[in-house]
Amino acid sequence: MKNALKIGFLALALGVFVTACGGGASESATDSTAAATTQNIDSVANAANDSIAAKADTAKAAVDSVAAAAKDTAAKH
């Protein structure tokens, strides 16, 4: 009788252990917070790149206009 209780208790403990550990099944859950954060970071980075590109284009246009004015001035003299 004592052995039956020991074996029953061992089986119960092993069952609880396997259940707590997930039974060896690999679970690949996606982290929605990480995905949303990555998407937000990419969005902000793209907006920053667009803003920098626009400012660079504006600066290039200003430099080109100054260069053209200097060239015209030099050609007149």
For the CA atoms of the chain, what is the radius of gyration? 35
* Domain range for 50: 37-76
pLDDT for 1: 64
> Would you say residue 52 lies in a domain?
yes
> Would you say residue 13 lies in a domain?
no
pLDDT band at 23 (very low <50, low <70, confident <90, very high): low
pLDDT for 31: 73
Q: Which amino acid would we find at residue 75?
A: A
> Would you say residue 16 lies in a domain?
no
> Would you say residue 29 lies in a domain?
no
Cα–Cα distance between 51 and 75 in angstroms, integer? 36
> Would you say residue 59 lies in a domain?
yes
- 60-75 pLDDT per residue, tens: 899 988 888 888 888 8
The conformation of residue 15, written as its DSSP 8-state character, comes to H
> Would you say residue 32 lies in a domain?
no
Number of domains, the chain: 1
